[in-house]
Structure 1
Amino acid sequence: MSLRDKIDELKKPFGKGEKLEKWAPAINALDTFLYVPNHTTKKGAHIRDGVDLKRTMITVVLALLPALIYGMYNTGYQHFSQISGSDLSFLSCFMYGLWKVLPMVVVSYGVGLAIEFAFAIYRGHEVNEGYLVTGLLIPLIMPVDIPLWMVAISVVFAVIIGKEAFGGTGMNILNPALTARAFAFFAYPTYMSGTKVWVSEATNIDAISGETILGKLAGGKEVAYSTMDMFSGAIPGSIGETSTLWILVGALILIITGVGSWRIMAGGLIGAIGMGLIFNAVSANDLMAFPWYNHLVVGGFAFGLVFMATDPVSAAQTTKGKWIYGILVGMFCLLIRIFNPAYPEGVMMAILLMNVFAPTIDHYVIEGSVKKRKKRLAAKLKTT
């Protein structure tokens, strides 16, 4: 008996009118995870295509894997590099990072999917695949030593308040992963900021310093890392956000497959470079004097721009709106970094702020397009 036959046999008690019908979304989720759904639209306009939500989400997960793998390695490297006599081989560093990061991923997926299944059963609809990406994003934007119970509570808040309260996948106005980080940042600030949270075991070993580059600049301290160190990712920071190199690999996957908007990414770069050049010309403090190109490769800017600003649900939808949205994300990221010493990161707040204004941007873009068409029509009627 094939796997397909076994699943069909397993699904029989969950069919319509059967005693386990209420729990059908749970078993159907397993089916659609392994196989393409066998149903099609019956009415209304539709396009027959091989791309569905599941394939889109899996593509994003694949694009995240390079940053995840490097993040695991860097977790071990940052820990061992500050302890004299430690083994700095790739395998040693990666295994340490795997031991630290994997439990966070398991907790994120376990708690998040449990809530998704519960809401699907309660509401009587199928389980959506949207959390496949969110479940991996949340651990990647957290400090490595954050307690697992804090990760779990942040996930609960993000899924229930940030997503299900608005109707579930496709209805949320804020990016769920950033909602989880924002909740953790304001609820547990000592675990999400400071000089000891970005390198594993920094709080337990006096010799280890875990301050980020932006944190040092905000505190008026000297930065010893080169631009290449910042670009490659061999620096302290959130698990998946340090390596711009591997984030760019993920960006290429998203752009080539058409899953991520290159317009938003390009707009974000334009906005950040423009603000960076302006502040470099002023150079009133260390953050303003920090070269504009270094701003692009430190903190969560690259990761946020590629994987969260491009979220098709919470981002702008129109072509012109995507450019405006991306440019404003880049501009606000640097504005927040430089003018808020208490939070020298910026990208989380910038994206969440623009998530709120994305519908407004699209509204005025569409209104502007309608007015232009009316003017062209009026001019054409006059000439005829």
Structure 2
Amino acid sequence: MKALHDFVKKFEPAKENKIAHTTYDAFYTFLFQPDSVTVDGTHIKDGMDLKRLMVQVVLALQLLYVFGTWNIGHQHFIALGLHSGLLEGFLLKVVYGLIQVLPIFIVTHVVGLGIEFLYAAKNGHSVEEGFLVSGALIPLIMPPDIPLLWLAVAIAFAVVLGKEAFGGTGMNIWNVALLARVFIFFAYPTTISGDEVWVSGIEKIGTEYYAASYNFAHHAFDAVSGIFGYTQFGLGGQAVVDGWTGATPLGIAAKEGWSGVEAVYTESQIFWGTIPGSIGESSVPLIVVGMIFLIVTRIASYRVIFGGLIGFMVAALMMNAIAPAELTAETPGIFKFMAIHPLRQMAMGSFLFAITFMATDPVSSADTPMGKWIYGFLIAFIGLIIRVMNPAYPEGWMLSILLMNTFAPLIDHYVYEANMKRRAKRTHAMAKQRDEIITKRGEMEVFDEDSEYKAVGNAGGY
């Protein structure tokens, strides 16, 4: 290892060459852990620097990338009435998903890391590692058909105005990945919320849906797969199957409740995530695996996650209590949405993904232990209210997390204030108790002296 370290060190450029040295430093710190530790003081001494801590989160997301890549292709071919089985056309689905995911992933990191490099070179410091997680999260929270130009603009907005403007990694008050998502949503609301955006390669022409023609990447795969006799994409452009809808379960539930969702998707599909939606937010089991990994490794705060689970259940049960006992065709959609069982509400949409990977961001969340419980609780409670009550946006975690990012310092402030008042009260009570003990001790001493005098007087015959 020392030989490799010495070999890499030979290529270190002069610090005067800011861009070259910044680039070298980024790769050097990625390959090797810090070579210095705190000698004095109470700091913990280990090799887990910020970059390696961020890598743990990226590792927890890998199963979602694999599943999301396959699901993009799966949803595309279901729309065409082809390869409807989970394993049918497996290679074709994965390749189709890769063709969609890789450009999103590459644009995300080229733009985001490019801006990070420019700011680091300009300011003469090392490349900050915060974008490792943001760059891994952003592709997973985007629709598979997101235009790459919109994505690039959204990432530039999030990194420059949401992060670098505040001083860089560790200084931002909002989650960077969510800022990119919220920019896309509010800049292009009608397109980003349409049914066709959630299933890749499907376009709405008039009142009909059609598959877009395949590009050179698909045809290149066909040329290679033809040699080995694998299934091919073909030319594309055909109409989708009758009755197909690209609507997500949440989009249906907002209008028709659970009965409408059941008419299109099974509970198994919703649980495993084989439904339209953002690339990596749908599979409950894989998200739970990532959640357990982050909690066990202590990368994420269990207080935020469990606080969110409690807040979600409280809000869902309150809505169940408000909803009418019997639902009819004339019942407004909002009451049908309220009546959905809490566990079904939790399985739909991106709540588990948001509370695990977004809300636990240590920079933008609350810092105090009690503040984390309150922070997670309010994210879930407010988010579910936004999901159900807002007819224009049947999901709420993006807005609720950004809102609570804003109020996280205020939550910590009141937690600190409550702790100080409690300690002051306890100190005052202890001081009062001490004074009472001293007073009683003084009275007992006086009593003992009087008793002694009386005893001496009686002995002398007085």
Q: Which residue of 1 aligns with 2:137?
A: 137
Q: 1:283, CA displacement in angstroms? A: 2.1
Q: Does the 8 Å contact 1:75/1:97 carry over to 2?
A: yes
Q: Distance in 1 between matches of 2:271 and 2:61?
A: 17
SS of 2:63's equivalent? helix
Q: Does the 8 Å contact 2:366/2:409 carry over to 1?
A: yes
Q: Which residue of 2 aligns with 1:216?
A: 252
Q: Distance in 1 between matches of 2:143 and 2:281?
A: 10
Count of aligned pairs: 380
Q: Does the 8 Å contact 2:34/2:47 carry over to 1?
A: no
Q: Does the 8 Å contact 2:154/2:183 carry over to 1?
A: yes
Q: Distance in 1 between matches of 2:177 and 2:318?
A: 31
The one-letter amino acid paired with 1:112 is: G
SS of 1:81's equivalent? helix
Q: Which residue of 2 aligns with 1:382?
A: 432
Equivalent residues in 2 for 1:4-15 (5 A)?
Answer: 4-11=5-12, 13-15=13-15
Match of 2:395 among 345, 365, 369: 345
Q: Does the 8 Å contact 1:316/1:358 carry over to 2?
A: yes
Match of 1:27 among 24, 28, 38: 24
Q: Does the 8 Å contact 1:304/1:347 carry over to 2?
A: yes
Name stretches of at least 5 consecutive residues in structure 2 with no aligned partner.
204-209, 212-238, 325-334, 435-462
Question: What is the RMSD computed on CA atoms of the aligned residues?
Answer: 1.8
SS of 1:14's equivalent? coil
Match of 1:255 among 273, 283, 295: 295
In the alignment, structure 1 residue 234 sits paired with structure 2 residue 274: yes
Q: Does the 8 Å contact 1:264/1:327 carry over to 2?
A: yes
Q: Which residue of 2 aligns with 1:161?
A: 161
SS of 2:45's equivalent? coil
Q: Distance in 1 between matches of 2:151 and 2:245?
A: 23
Equivalent residues in 2 for 1:60-75 (5 A)?
Answer: 60-75=57-72
Q: Which residue of 2 aligns with 1:179?
A: 179
Q: Distance in 2 between matches of 1:263 and 1:183?
A: 29
Q: Which residue of 2 aligns with 1:279?
A: 319
SS of 1:313's equivalent? coil
Q: Distance in 2 between matches of 1:21 and 1:64?
A: 33
The one-letter amino acid paired with 1:286 is: K
Q: Distance in 2 between matches of 1:383 and 1:349?
A: 50
The one-letter amino acid paired with 2:147 is: P
Q: Which residue of 1 aligns with 2:378?
A: 328
**CA offsets 1:66-121 (integer angstroms, 9 cap, x no match):** 11111111111111122223373433222211111111011101110000010011
SS of 2:197's equivalent? coil
SS of 1:197's equivalent? helix
Q: Distance in 1 between matches of 2:14 and 2:431?
A: 62
Q: Distance in 2 between matches of 1:46 and 1:154?
A: 38
Q: Which residue of 2 aligns with 1:370?
A: 420
Q: Distance in 1 between matches of 2:54 and 2:64?
A: 16
Q: Distance in 1 between matches of 2:312 and 2:79?
A: 32
Pair 346,237 (structure 1): closer, same or farther in 2 beyond 3 Å: same
Q: Distance in 2 between matches of 1:271 and 1:170?
A: 27
Pair 191,14 (structure 1): closer, same or farther in 2 beyond 3 Å: farther
Q: Compute the TM-score of the two structures, normalised by the length of structure 2.
A: 0.79
Q: Distance in 1 between matches of 2:350 and 2:377?
A: 16
Q: 1:230, CA displacement in angstroms? A: 1.2
Q: 1:26, CA displacement in angstroms? A: 1.9
Pair 377,85 (structure 1): closer, same or farther in 2 beyond 3 Å: closer
Greater displacement, 259-268 / 44-53? 44-53
Percent identical pairs in the alignment equals 49
In the alignment, structure 1 residue 112 sits paired with structure 2 residue 112: yes
Pair 283,119 (structure 1): closer, same or farther in 2 beyond 3 Å: same
Q: Distance in 2 between matches of 1:333 and 1:227?
A: 22
**CA offsets 1:253-308 (integer angstroms, 9 cap, x no match):** 10110001111111111111111111112225221122211111111111111000
Q: Distance in 2 between matches of 1:154 and 1:3?
A: 39
Larger Rg: 2
Q: Distance in 1 between matches of 2:424 and 2:46?
A: 34
Pair 3,148 (structure 1): closer, same or farther in 2 beyond 3 Å: farther
SS of 1:10's equivalent? coil
The one-letter amino acid paired with 1:214 is: L
Q: Which residue of 1 aligns with 2:328?
A: none
The one-letter amino acid paired with 1:127 is: V
Q: Distance in 1 between matches of 2:18 and 2:255?
A: 59
SS of 1:219's equivalent? helix
Q: Does the 8 Å contact 1:14/1:22 carry over to 2?
A: no
Match of 1:77 among 74, 88, 102: 74
Q: Which residue of 2 aligns with 1:193?
A: 193
Pair 21,151 (structure 1): closer, same or farther in 2 beyond 3 Å: closer
